[in-house]
Structure 1
Amino acid sequence: MIHDVIVIGGSYAGMAASLQLLRARRSVLVIDAGQRRNRTASHSHGFLGQDGVDPAVIAHDARCQLEAYPTLTWVEGKAASVTGERDTFVVEAVGNQTYRSRRILFATGVTDHLPEIDGLAERWGKSVFHCPYCHGYELDQGRIGVIASGPMSTHQAELLAEWGTVTFFTNGVLPLAPAAQQALEQKGVTIEDTAIRALTGEVGVQLADGRTLSFAGLFVAPTVTPSTTLPAKLGCTIAEGPMGQMIAVDGAKETTVRGVYACGDVAQMPHSLSFAVGDGAMAGLQLHRSLVWPDMHG
């Protein structure tokens, strides 16, 4: 069987794209390894109609709704290779299962690369966050720590001053230019240059000089890369963005390889569940149009 579209990655963006295609009565095969980026978070915020809901519940309900459509095939697993060209793609999954399709959609999400600070990874998504719009309100205007990871961190600290009293930890990563320091100070941000030894307790920052500072929540801007190398191996251009790497796409969500599309966190910034769903819906619409009008370009 040749599917109309194989979607690699069945989280929010992939499912949103699939829904548009299924409602157009197109044959969709989703290959998903079950590794949602927000799997460590217990609540999702800022998504209209689902504010405060467990993101696992949102994902589960969405999949149940997709499975009501008879043209869906869902494969729990991981894609191992993608070969071919538009209308004749071949996807091999781990376990040597082979599938064919006219179009490919990468909705694989990204991998977060966090600063190497003892205790940070264990708290990621629980008391250490990256998006103030997703997690800032619940901190109740308390003390917020921002850990520098790169040039974008100063902007993150300035923005978070809207949600509480901010301490910015340069942590030896980001020497501040006078203009950047002045901008932070104008927002009431306290600058802490002492190196971080570890994160302790629920939201504690232990410094190299022995002090431990407590916060309502911590934020850090991770560097991201696509969660799979398959797009690059297929020839898709990987672009550098302000937070890391992403798959380059045009206005129709098509990559630099004809017939291959990408959406969600792996293809656009900034990142949130709302943005992923919207981007996925647009990708599904554009994929359907490419099947109806094969000569259409984005």
Structure 2
Amino acid sequence: MEKQEFEVIIIGGSYSGLSAAMSLGRAIRKTLIIDSNQPCNRQTPHSHNFITQDGFSPAQIAKAAKDQVSVYPTIQFMEDAVVSAIGEDFNFTVTTASGLQISAKKLLFATGVADQLADIPGLSSCWGISVIHCPYCHGYEYKDQPMGILSNDENTVDFSKLISNWNKDLRVFTNGTPKFSAAQQQEISASKVTVIEKPIAGIEHVAGQLTGIRFLDGTLEKIDALYTRPPFVQHCLVPAEMGCELDKRGYILTDDFKKTTIPGVYAAGDNTSPMRSVANAVAAGSIAGAMLNHELIMA
């Protein structure tokens, strides 16, 4: 493998990477997918809002995708992590954590993001199960149940209004003094959403299924699930180290065809967009794969 050369190396083998690989495999492009097998939704029991796959687990969808991509003989897989990439368009070299150096004409980063969850006991154990981020992905399953939102910034008003579409028994947990304005707090309250400012001691749950929020004063607020939108960092730092520009939110900057600001380097999926869903990742990967093939044809 050390001496092999590929037309495209895809870093990240989840939905966006596999979707791009499908396009490239069908275009008969010699492609390598390098993946560390640590998807961010590995705890999530069911995926939703992806037509034809609604209700399947993320692992089931990924396995079916990989099985279908594997049919194309020009596609290869490697379980590893890319730690660096150097070179220029049509002459890139990536180095993996295991020490391999592999060449490619083009690169696609489908590496996702790493969520920075608040340091609250129990929160990470429930993440993707009953601590959720997207009502379109999970809101229907928790509709009309007592819900919470862990949020304390200027986006809390919009977030609480959004979730009110699914849940009327709703409260906002700020985990301390609110950082949004008094006017914003009044706007939240006007939507019949309760704001609870008490510091949180921990999340009580059974095998990831939330049962309540325990506060430092010992009281318990019973809810069935909790929304939160944690900050994130890029899961893979290599694109930024290569010079790929990030936007002010921290996403890799791409054009409509998934090209980054570095010629020959593409990016697709959660690392480029706040629209985090399997469906959006698949769509982005399909575009990236087609455009990579187009560049190779036109060279």
Q: How far did 1:256 drift?
A: 1.0
What is the distance in 1 between the residues matched to 2:279 and 2:183? 34
Aligned to 2:234: 226
Q: Deviations over 1:85-115 (max 9, x none)?
A: 0000011112222211110000001000011
Gap runs ≥5 in structure 2: none
The answer on whether the counterparts of 2:20 and 2:288 sit within 8 Å (CA) in structure 1 is yes
The reply to whether residue 77 of structure 1 matches residue 77 of structure 2 is no
Deviation at 1:119, TM superposition (A): 1.3
- 1:290 counterpart letter in structure 2: E
Gaps of at least 5 residues in structure 1 are none
Secondary structure of 1:50's match?
coil
Where in structure 1 do 4 or more consecutive aligned residues deviate above 4 Å?
none
Superposition pairs for residues 1-298 of structure 1, below 5 Å?
1-164=4-167, 165-172=169-176, 174-201=178-205, 202-241=210-249, 245-294=250-299
1:252 is displaced (CA, Å) by 1.8
TM (normalized to structure 1)? 0.94
**CA offset at residue 66 of structure 1?**
0.6
1:238 deviates by: 1.9
What letter is aligned with 1:150? D
Deviations 1:140-186 (A, max 9, x none): 31111001153333322221111112100111264231332233123
C-alpha displacement of 1:12: 0.4
Equivalent-residue separation in structure 2 for 1:256 and 1:194 (angstroms): 45
Distance 2:7 2:296 in 1: 8
Question: Between the two proteins, what is the percent identity of the paired residues?
Answer: 36
Q: Secondary structure at the match of 1:84?
A: strand
SS of the equivalent of 2:72 reads coil
Return the offset for 1:2: 2.6
Whole-Å Cα distance in 2 between the matches of residues 74 and 109 of structure 1? 18
- Give 1:34 deviation, angstroms: 0.3
How far apart, CA to CA, are the structure 2 residues paired with 1:203 and 1:33?
33
RMSD between aligned residues: 1.3
Q: Which moved more, 1:162-171 or 1:285-294?
A: 285-294
TM-score, normalised on structure 2?
A: 0.94
